[in-house]
Structure 1
Amino acid sequence: MIDKLEMFIALAREKHFGRAAEDCRVTQPTLSSAIKQLEDQFGVMLVFRGSRYQGLTPEGQRVLEWARRIVGDVRSMQEDLRTARHGLSGHLRIAAIPTALSAVSELTTPFAEAHPGITFTVLSRTSIEILSLLENLEIDVGITYLDNEPLGRVTTVPLYEERYAFVTQADGPHAGKKSITWKEVADAPLCLLTPDMQNRRIVNQKMGEAGASANPTLESNSVITLFSHVRTGRWSSVMPWRLVDAFGRLDNLTAIPIVEPEAAESIGLVAAYREPHTPVLAALLAEARKVSQLLPRDKQPSA
């Protein structure tokens, strides 16, 4: 039953029989047969069929919710038994929004030191993708915004507040300024994250509140790409202070606090709500709570 439910979850995620079968490492006929067996067992149609996948039926959507819960609980039970036999070990899959990637090591490093049997995979994803990955059991935790957009039923641990700096040429038009308004930022030649990123939606919102709008001449889903373009002197950008600090010495650049209106967004750890959590996840949540007490709420570099 569990393997069939996992195939059903994969089909709902991939929305394609072939890709779902490949993800489950089975043949397409095997996956199709497993879905048909679930339908026979439950007495309902789960998938609209045609020449290709056409979505889940209403009954299929309800079964999907139960399937995620059941498969998640079984995995938790298996991990709990493994921990009882071998101690805390295993693999943690973490997805973080791009602006929080520099903070991940502040969690994984002390956790790895305390639990050397744990390995990690860290992915860069949008806030929406993180919630989808959690829902589909593809990651264990995410690091994302806790406010601004709905998270659903998750366990959260706040880590720090994201505040923003205008990163630009040290000898540019705003040289020597102690602060800058969002309206002034909007008038600069900007490179910003793409609109699918929540950080960009926050930037758009703050500029709108200031009576301006963001009109970047370059967009990217990579903060490294943005920073490399700012270094050319042709562009300026809006970046979290913590991210600016992670890039180290600014050389010919300066970072200026952005005011009017003030902006501070809560960043934290999110995990699928489940009681009890697996031993590894429970230990990670406990570590996150310790890290939260140690991290400054507004970490600004000396630019």
Structure 2
Amino acid sequence: MDIKQLKFLIALDETRHFGQAAARCHITQPTLSMRLRNLEEELDLPLVNRGQRFEGFTAPGERVLAWARTVLAAYDGLQAEAAACRGHLVGTLRLGVVPLSNFDPLPLLQRLHSIHPNMRFELSSLSSEQILDQLASNRLDLGVSYLERLDSDRFDSLELAETRMGLLYDHRHYSFGDEPLSWESLTELPLGMLTNGMHFRQSIDHNFHSRGLELQPLIQTDAVHQLLQAVHGGFCCAIMPLDGGLESLTEHLRLQPIEHAQTLARLGLIMRRSAPRSALAEACFGLYQKMIQTP
């Protein structure tokens, strides 16, 4: 067994296609199939359900896949740790961020890249539950998620600024003056919303219901980009983070503050406490701590 076999297994899981997995790993499909069969023979377990095409993993294959991810993360962490001991940081920092966060990762990543030009970055949009799960299983290095019910024995965190809300609209279709909008006035507008279950949506629902107001969205989606497209087309307006920079995406978008509008919980930058902990995560966490402490 070697690291490459585990990489092949993970690539197959991520692409769900033998040919695409082989292309991602820069090998031929017969080579990929042969190496995976060698792994099955060594473990004496069937890992992959094969037909004319990929049909998923067997139950033992799913368990081996979870171990493969852990082993590969540890291998990458070892390489990064060795580089850190030599005074350099290399490898890929894996950062998960909840949808519609007011956290802009770009300044932090730019600072890191300027200091450590061999670093690479992988950003994922995930739910709070997914972020904590993947931090715990070492599939993420850092997460930006809500701090409510965070287990401080398992995770370190840096609290971020309060998330305020505003109304995102296309000024070619709507105009609202200069004053903050009331929640009552929003009930008269065609609103686009993220689907139920997302934390940001829960905060919106709470602000309406706590005022005895009924929310009837014109459109609901679980994809932020579709919501932005609907706003840009003038089909609806959308409640978004006020400090998320969304209004700068095009010259036509505007963000109008909403009075007394905050999310139910604060966001935080989160890193797991248990070893092995990524040297990349520690460097990023420490740099951001300095950035928010500097006036």
Using the size of structure 1 for normalisation, the TM-score is 0.70
User: Following the alignment from structure 1 to structure 2, what is the Cα–Cα distance between the partners of residues 97 and 201?
Assistant: 13
Gaps of 5+ in 2: none
How far apart are residue 240 of structure 1 and its match? Answer: 0.9
Residue in structure 2 matched with residue 277 of structure 1 by the alignment: 277
Per the TM alignment, residue 4 of structure 1 is displaced from its structure 2 partner at its CA by: 0.3
Query: Residue 299 of structure 1 aligns with which residue?
Result: none
Deviation of 1:156 after TM superposition, in Å, equals 5.2
1:221 paired to 2:213: no
SS of the residue corresponding to residue 109 of structure 2 reads helix
Describe the shift of the 1:55–1:192 C-alpha distance in structure 2 as closer, same or farther (beyond 3 A): same
Q: Which residue of 2 aligns with 1:6?
A: 7
Q: Deviations over 1:161-214 (max 9, x none)?
A: 323223467xx7975765522x64243122445779764565456556655234
What corresponds to 2:30 in structure 1? 29
When residues 155 and 17 of structure 1 are mapped into structure 2, their CA distance, relative to the original with a 3 A threshold, is farther
Q: Distance in 2 between matches of 1:127 and 1:265?
A: 14
Which position in structure 1 is the counterpart of 2:259? 257
- Partners of 1:286 and 1:205 in 2: CA distance: 34
Decide whether the 8 Å contact of 1:165 with 1:258 is kept in 2: no
Q: Aligned in 2, Cα 1:56/1:201: closer, same or farther, shift over 3 Å?
A: farther
Q: For 1:226-237, list aligned pairs within 5 A.
A: 228-229=232-233, 235-237=236-238
Q: SS of the counterpart of 2:6?
A: helix
Tell me the equivalent position of 1:266.
Answer: 266
Q: 1:91 to 1:56 in 2, by over 3 A?
A: closer
Q: What's the CA shift string for 1:262-290, capped at 9, x where partnerless?
A: 63343333557761323222111222344
Which 10-residue stretch deviates more, 85-94 or 35-44? 85-94
Are residues 253 and 201 of structure 1, via their aligned partners in 2, closer, same or farther at CA, if it must alter by over 3 Å? Answer: closer
Rounded to whole Å, the distance in 1 between the matches of 2:217 and 2:276 is 47
SS of corresponding position for 2:86: helix
Structure 1 gaps, min length 5: 296-303
Change (3 A) 1:211 1:253: closer
Name the TM-score, length of structure 2 as normaliser.
0.72
Bigger shift: 69-78 or 192-201?
A: 192-201
Residue 2 of structure 1 deviates from its aligned partner by: 1.0
Count how many residue pairs are aligned between Structure 1 and Structure 2: 284
The answer to which structure has the higher helix fraction is 1
CA contact (8 A) 2:48 2:61 kept: yes
Deviation at 1:252, TM superposition (A): 7.8
RMSD of equivalent CA atoms: 4.3
